[in-house]
């Protein structure tokens, strides 16, 4: 998978044994990550999760379950 270069990645912020914010930071540090769209998914849409997601380099945050229109907008970069 070394050559795999996605255009967008959806990451859950709170997954057992993993941290979506750390994964986002690692993705942003990768060579070739310019232009990568990162969308955070969270059950908690409060300000703290949005702040943490922004600090980790996410482009947008969606509260799960995300409706199709919100997902479409996030993937369009808005």
Task: pLDDT tens for the chain, 78 residues: list them.
Answer: 567 778 898 988 877 777 788 888 888 887 677 788 999 998 876 777 788 888 888 899 999 899 999 999 999 976
Domain extents in the chain: 8-75
Residue 53 CB partners (closer than 8 Å, separation 6+): 13, 21, 24, 40, 42, 61
Crossing angle of the two packed helices 47-56 and 20-29, in degrees rounded to 10: 20
Which pLDDT value is given to residue 13?
A: 82
Give the DSSP letter of residue 61. Answer: E
Q: Round to whole Å and give the CA distance between 55 and 25.
A: 9
Q: What pTM, to 2 d.p., does this model score? A: 0.80
Which pLDDT value is given to residue 69?
A: 96
The dihedrals phi and psi of 37, each to the nearest 5 degrees, come to: -95, 120
Regarding the domain with residue range 8-75, which homologous superfamily does it belong to in the CATH classification?
A: Response regulator (3.40.50.2300)
């Amino acid at each position: 998978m070394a050559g795999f270069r996605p255009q967008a990645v959806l990451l859950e912020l709170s997954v057992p044994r993993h941290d979506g914010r750390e994964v986002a930071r690692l993705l942003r540090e990768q060579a070739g990550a310019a232009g990568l769209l990162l969308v955070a998914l969270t059950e908690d849409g409060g300000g703290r999760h949005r702040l943490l997601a922004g600090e980790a380099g996410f482009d947008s945050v969606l509260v799960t379950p995300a409706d199709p229109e919100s997902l479409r907008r996030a993937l369009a970069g808005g």
